[in-house]
Amino acid sequence: MIYRFAGGPARTGEIGFPVIAALWADGRIVWSESHIQGGPPYRQGRFAREKLESLLDTLERKQVFRDAAQFRGSFGPDAGYTIIAIDDGRRRVRIESWHESFEQNTNLVATAGGITTLRGAKREDVLRQQPEAYRRLRNTWTEIRQAAEALIPKSGEPYEGEIPIPGR
């Protein structure tokens, strides 16, 4: 499950979270046409279950589930952020970060210390200088997002039902 938390004091009364993608072990997937902000309209389809299981096994070998606590809270106060929540009944992790939304601006980079302008530097060079734990968060994030994107079918049927949010 990948979804957005709007954050900020002006939005605390909002109900619901814009889902980006929700995947189930039986091969069902629901996704938003907006792969960064999420929200309707949603589509639904199916993917090869073994691909999701392969991703989860890879994350387990990398000890992502064992080290889950280090992935929480990479965002600033009152900021919106994206959440990747995985729970297959045996393995669970929740990764939170604000970098995807901010980095839609090609002159910004989210670092371990906050959002900063690139000032002519390359994003990869700035990130290479970040603490190991933050680099691991970003690398794990990218791996999961790319794998989830690869599972989204080229087309799907409209979906208008509720999408359950883990832990809510």
pLDDT at 10: 39
SS3 81: strand
Number of neighbouring beta carbons within 10 Å of residue 80: 17
Q: What is the pLDDT of residue 53?
A: 94
pLDDT at 168: 54
103 CB-near residues (< 8 Å, 6+ apart): 109, 110, 123
pTM for this prediction? 0.87
Domains of the chain plus CATH, in order, are 2-159 (3.30.1560)
Residue 83: CB atoms within 10 Å: 20
For the chain, list residues with pLDDT below 70.
5-16, 73, 166-168
For residue 31, the cross-strand partners are 21, 43
Per-residue confidence (pLDDT) for residue 150, from 0 to 100: 94
The pLDDT, as a whole number, for residue 12 is 37
First and final C-alpha spacing in the chain: 13
Task: Identify which of 166, 150, 160, 142 has the alpha carbon closest to the alpha carbon of residue 1.
Answer: 166
How many Å separate Cα 79 from the centre of its chain? 15
Prior bond of 77 cis (ω within 30°): no
pLDDT at site 16? 64
User: Is there a contact between 163 and 19 (Cβ–Cβ < 8 Å)?
Assistant: yes
